[in-house]
């Protein structure tokens, strides 16, 4: 019978009839009847209607951006961007690209309950619009020229004793991650990507996910000891991951975040992000060796980026008049 044949996308057989389910966001169900030939014709008509309706919309642009560009990003960034895209689709999805004006973007930024999140979402929308210009979908980007919400720079600086408290509250695997993370100032995602093969003699090879560039970090005695402890941590014999989880396997983003929250809770510290370890490392290097050394370790292309990164955490003590 026809109902047992492979049906076109969004066409289903249930309750004795064929049905069409509209694409997101409506997901509306439409009964097509029990006659297979007539159902196919009605299905084709509905699909054509949806294609016409979706052409030139923000939703279509976001869908293409999510399918073609987001997979090229780091795992954690992909998770964030897909969450932003979902929210943007709910607000702007049905609008035509030429209907979105700069004042709509400004209103979104001004009325969003979380200003920093609003900045991230509009930054994602702006990037999608720039790709849409390359694709010939639009000639303008309404997000350009609109100032973002002011963000408060994070000033949290981990003291040495706080770093020790985190390591004491950690198991062997996470303790190794913290120690190697501080000594290399690598981002979390870049740390968790390291493999045993990245240790080559007296050099640790790492890839910076944000720029897709590789950096070479000289292995000091302290880093050598940390790497040796990391290699001695329990691991699956088939795993080549350097900084593995308690099962000897690579961490997932959500898995690591869950373990990290538990460690912070056991340490008794407050308001600690894993990224604060990188901030401490770059601040400490700046104080001891200067900005250029911190810039090289951070793999920043320009020194101003390093200065901005460190300044909020580096409290300069000035001398009084007398």
DSSP letters spanning 129-148: HHHHHHHTS-S--TTTTPPP
Q: How far apart are CA 17 and CA 104, in angstroms?
A: 43
Judged by DSSP in three states, 238 sits in coil
| 251 neighbors 245 (Cβ within 8 angstroms) | yes
Record the tokens describing residue 40, joined without a space.
């196919």
What distance in Å separates the CA atoms of residue 226 and residue 279, rounded to the nearest whole number? 19
Q: What is the mean pLDDT of the chain?
A: 85
Cβ count within 10 A of residue 37? 9
Rounded Cα–Cα distance for residues 156 and 43 (Å):
57
Residue 155 is encoded by which pair of tokens? 């000033």
- DSSP code of 318? P
Residue carrying the six token digits 């076109």:
8
What gap in Å lies between CA 266 and CA 30, rounded to an integer? 54
> What sign for the dihedral angle of Cα 124, 130, 133, 134?
negative
Q: Pseudo-torsion of CA 82, 74, 251, 195, nearest 10°?
A: 170
What is the structure's pLDDT at 251? 85
pLDDT for 100: 94
* pLDDT tens figures, 192-218: 888 888 888 889 998 887 777 788 889
Q: What is the pLDDT of residue 144?
A: 93
Q: What pLDDT does 207 receive?
A: 83
**pLDDT tens digits, the chain, 322 residues: what are they?**
455 567 888 889 988 899 998 877 678 899 999 988 888 889 888 877 666 555 688 998 998 899 889 988 877 788 899 999 999 999 999 899 989 999 999 999 999 999 999 999 999 999 999 999 998 888 899 999 999 998 877 788 889 999 999 999 988 888 889 999 999 888 888 888 888 888 888 899 988 877 777 888 898 899 999 898 888 877 666 778 888 887 778 888 788 889 999 999 999 999 899 989 988 888 888 888 877 777 777 776 666 666 666 765 666 555 676 7
pLDDT at 78: 87
Local structure of 34: helix, strand or coil: coil
Indicate yes or no: pTM above 0.85.
Answer: no
DSSP 8-state secondary structure symbol assigned to residue 73: S
As given in the structure block, the two tokens for residue 194 are: 């390291």
- The pLDDT, as a whole number, for residue 30 is 92
Tens-digit pLDDT profile for residues 6-52? 788 888 998 889 999 887 767 889 999 998 888 888 988 887 766 65
Q: What angle do CA 152, 155, 160 make, to 5 degrees?
A: 165
- Position 50 scores a pLDDT of 66
Length of the chain: 322
3-class state of residue 171 by DSSP: coil
Q: What pLDDT does residue 161 have?
A: 94
Cis link prior to 255 (omega < 30° from 0)?
A: no
Query: Is the distance from CB of 280 to CB of 184 less than 8 angstroms?
Result: no
Estimate to the nearest angstrom the gap between the alpha carbon of 267 and the chain centroid.
Answer: 26
Q: List all residues 6 or more positions away from 216 whose beta carbon is below 8 Å from its beta carbon.
A: 203, 204, 205
* Per-residue burial over 78-111, b = 16 or more CB atoms within 10 Å of its CB, e = otherwise: eebbeebbebbbeebbeeebeebeeebbbebbee
Residues whose CB is less than 8 angstroms from the CB of residue 208 and which lie 6 or more positions away in sequence, other chains included? 187, 190, 214, 215, 299
pLDDT, tens digit (0-9, with 9 covering 90-100), for 227-246: 988 888 776 667 788 888 87
Please report the pLDDT score of residue 1 as a whole number.
46
């Amino acid at each position: 019978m026809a109902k047992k044949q492979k049906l076109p996308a969004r066409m289903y057989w249930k309750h004795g009839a064929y049905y069409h389910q509209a694409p997101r966001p409506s997901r509306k169900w439409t009964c097509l009847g029990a006659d297979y030939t007539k159902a196919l014709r009605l299905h084709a008509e509905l699909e054509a209607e949806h294609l016409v309706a979706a052409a030139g919309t923000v939703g279509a642009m976001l869908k293409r951006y999510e399918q073609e560009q987001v997979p090229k990003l780091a795992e954690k960034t992909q998770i964030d961007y897909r969450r932003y895209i979902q929210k943007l689709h709910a607000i702007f999805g049905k609008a035509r690209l030429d209907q979105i004006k700069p004042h709509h973007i400004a209103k979104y930024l001004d009325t969003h309950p979380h200003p920093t999140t609003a900045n991230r979402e509009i930054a994602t929308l702006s990037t999608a619009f720039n790709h849409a210009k390359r694709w010939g979908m639009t000639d303008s980007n309404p997000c350009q020229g609109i100032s973002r919400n002011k963000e408060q720079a994070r000033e949290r600086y981990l003291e040495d004793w706080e770093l020790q408290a985190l390591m004491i509250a950690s198991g062997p695997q996470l303790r190794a991650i913290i120690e190697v993370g501080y000594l290399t100032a690598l981002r979390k995602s870049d740390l968790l990507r390291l493999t045993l093969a990245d240790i080559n003699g007296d050099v640790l090879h790492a890839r910076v996910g944000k720029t897709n560039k590789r950096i070479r970090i000289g292995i000091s005695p302290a880093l050598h000891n940390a790497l040796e402890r990391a290699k001695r941590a329990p691991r699956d014999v088939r795993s080549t991951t350097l900084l593995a989880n308690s099962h000897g396997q690579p961490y997932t983003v959500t898995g690591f975040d869950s373990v990290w929250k538990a460690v912070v809770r056991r340490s008794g510290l407050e308001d600690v992000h894993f990224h604060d370890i990188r901030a401490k490392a770059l601040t400490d290097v700046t104080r001891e060796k200067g900005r250029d050394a911190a810039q090289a370790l951070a793999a920043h292309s320009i020194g101003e980026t390093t200065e901005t990164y460190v300044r909020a955490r580096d409290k300069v003590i000035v001398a009084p008049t007398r």
